[in-house]
Every structure is written in C-alpha cells, then in structure tokens.
Structure 1
Amino acid sequence: MAKVSVIVPAAGAGKRYGAKANKIFERLKGQPVFIRTLELFTGRDDVCQVQMVVSAEDLDMVKESFGGALGFMGVGIVVGGPTRAHSVRNALARVTAEADLVCVHDAVRPCLSQVWVSAVFDAAAKYGAAMLANPLHGTLKRVSAQGEIEETVPRDGLWEAQTPQVFSRSLLQKAYEGDLSNVTDDAQLVEALGQKVHVVPGDPRNIKITSPADLAVVAAVIDSLPKPKLAGGDHPFAEAKW
C-alpha cells in the first residue's frame, strides 16, 4: 500500500467569496469547512502525513482557536506564500520521506467521498500522476469584456479539473522546482515536464466553495455522498459510517 502525504492549501484570501471571514472558517454542519476537509484524510490508513497551509494573517488565529484540535488530528501547520502554488511549494519542502505519493486537495472541497479518494490514490500509485476531473456538459461561450458572445467553444474532450490531485513525491517536487507564475493547479506543472496525468472521473458533487450560497448546497449534498463498503460486508446496508 502506497503511503500518501496530504497537502491542504487553505491560505487563499477568499476574495471571490464575498464575505469578511476566510471561507475556510465558515461553519458546515457545526464544524469549520477546513476541519471537515481534513477529516477526509486523517483517519485513512494509507495517509502518513497531513499538512494544512494557512496565510500568515490567519496563522495566530488558527493556532489559538484550532491548534489543539489540529494537534490531536496530527495535522501540521505550514505558512503559505503569495500564491497557491507557492503555498504548496512551502508544504512540499516538509513532506516526509516516508511518503510515496503527495496529494493536494483544496480546503474548500469538503464534499468528497472516500470512494473517490481511494480511486485517485490507486490511480496515482499505478500511473505516477492522477487527478479527479468531471466532463463538461453545458454549452460554453467565450464572452468579451463588453459582455457580448464572441464564440461558442466546442466542449468535446473538455473536463473541469477537481482535487484531489495526486503524484509521486519525486515527480511533484521536481515539478515545483520550475516557474510558478500563472499556475492554476498542480497537474499543470506536472504536464509541463511532459508527464501524462491520468484522469479519474469525478462527480459534480465535489463542489468547491466559492460563494456563501455554495455552503447551503454543500450542506445538502454532503450526506448523499457514496460510502465505501465495510470489509466483509455482503449485504446492501453494509456501508461504512464516515
């Protein structure tokens, strides 16, 4: 079984969120969003390390308000950089040598099934690079700055990238040695090395929280996520309870 180090970037200022507080601290069914996300990984036998990257501005508050809980969960805290990519690079420098794979997952994607986590971990162990993604189904329009349609974009072969994105430790570390300007996800850096990234079909329920309205959607969705079968379960109700 491959061992996985998990990096959860949570240093974003949340400028698109439209609220004063960083969106990771919003409550989701009684818990902060980021705690819900971290719990997706802290209980897994194949995860050997979990790090959360926070902004320098949030560091003291995170330590004071959540330091005890994070310590109990075994989550390390890393100070982020000016961009998401720089934040991930900071955490990569602290990844344990025990890890075979490194997983990067957005702190604001708490609607993640353990079934999907296992699938992308397995694919990364097999191919060296894997990520969740979802095929685009809607009609895409390129719109000008004046708000006018310029063209309809063919959607054939277009997928929306999600996280987790998982890579061999050495591959991701090499990818992050390069230029980090204009980087929107980890797979982009790995692609720049000429490495193929295997896509594991995701699910529209793997929502990234970008606005206050998303919280209500996530709260409604989270209980509908597929659960893995318990070991030895052979009846339709034999599902795990997390």
Structure 2
Amino acid sequence: MPASHVFALPDAMSFEAAAVFPTCWMTAAHALFDVGKLQAGETVLIHAAGSGVSTAGIQLACAAGARVLATAGSDDKCARAEQLGAAAAANNRTVDIAAWAREATGGAGVEMVFDHVGPSLWEASLFSLGVRGRLVNVGNTTGDSATIPSLGHLFHMRLQIVGSDPYRPEDPSRSPQGVFMAATMAACTTRGTAFTYEQMSTWLRDAGFTAIRLIEPIAAQQLFVATKGSYNGE
C-alpha cells in the first residue's frame, strides 16, 4: 500500500470505526465539499439516509452549517436521520419527494442533491433542485442506466449533474483527520453482542455501515466479506 494512503489512527477512533471510515466519511466529504461545493446556509437533499455514506453525509453537512433534507425507505430510518441532524426526512416509498422537497424550501428547491441511489430516484432528484442546483452522484445502487426526463427543465433551470470519483489522498483540500474531527462516528455503532452467521442478514439491515470483528480465527477457505447487497430503497 502506498504511504500516501496510510494515516495515523486518532485516539478517539476504534478499529471498527476505522474499517468503515474511508468508504463512508471520505466518500461523503469529497462529494459534498470538494465536488459539490456545499456552503453553509444551503439546503442539500440526501438520499438513502439509512446507508453508511449518507449517515456520514448528514452529519458532515450539518456540521458545515448546511440544512439537510433526507429520504429513506422506512419511517424508522427517517426518524434516525432527524436524530442525526436532518431538518426533515421523508419516506421515499410513500411520499412524492420532489414535491416534498420544494414545499420544504418554500418552492425554491434545494441547492444540492447528494445521490448514490441512481435510477429509482433520478427524476425526483432533478425536480427537487432549484435554479443552478447541483446533482452530485456518487453511486448507482438501483442500476446503471438513467434518463433525463426533460432537457428543457435541465437548461431552463441551469442545473448541473456531476459525478464524484473516490477521494484521493493527494487531494490537498481535505484530510481524513479533518473529516474525522468534523462530526461524531454515529455511522459505526459498536455492539458487544456476539451473533451467529445465520443472524448476519438481520444485522446487515441496520442503518449505517457494518464492520465485523471475528472472535475466533477462521480458515482461509471460510473467509467471507459481509456487505449490503442491492439497494432496497433504504
């Protein structure tokens, strides 16, 4: 591993938190601030609030003085987003997100949409934006193909659609240490309860990102990686 990719672990960060920190927190920080240029006082719509990267994004945006609107696939995850600092949250399975976002901004629309969902919320994302709004895409968990529903809306509103590549250590604008100090590590909840392989699917449905500490060594042929699979709207 290149030395540029290695950083000292802060005293306040556990190894479990460090395991998920680059994927969640650095991805969110790079997309929101380096690519999306989010400013204090702006409103950002963050999708999939129950995910690790969006959990981090909510806290980072709030810490920077932005107003956060969040969406998620369940009422419980919407409630958790509000606990993390979102001004309001809506269930994307039951609410017209574009109409809700415009109502929440007095009809103006949001300045930025932070999206890693893709096609299933693409139209809602575009129509949630106000004049000169930025749609920052960092993923495609519901598919790799999306269409622009109205080119007229795109150019009349002067919208920007931009992709955010992964954070690179050589980017001087934002250090991992600085991102860590910006917010708490709520995306990584340490639990002391042991669970079995059969229980893993239940634990992976929790909000945030899941890091697993093995309590017994396993043989190489038994090694597995636990991740959240295809996006289910949460």
Global fold match (TM > 0.5)? no
More strand by share: 1
TM-score by length of 1: 0.37
TM score, norm. by length of structure 2: 0.38
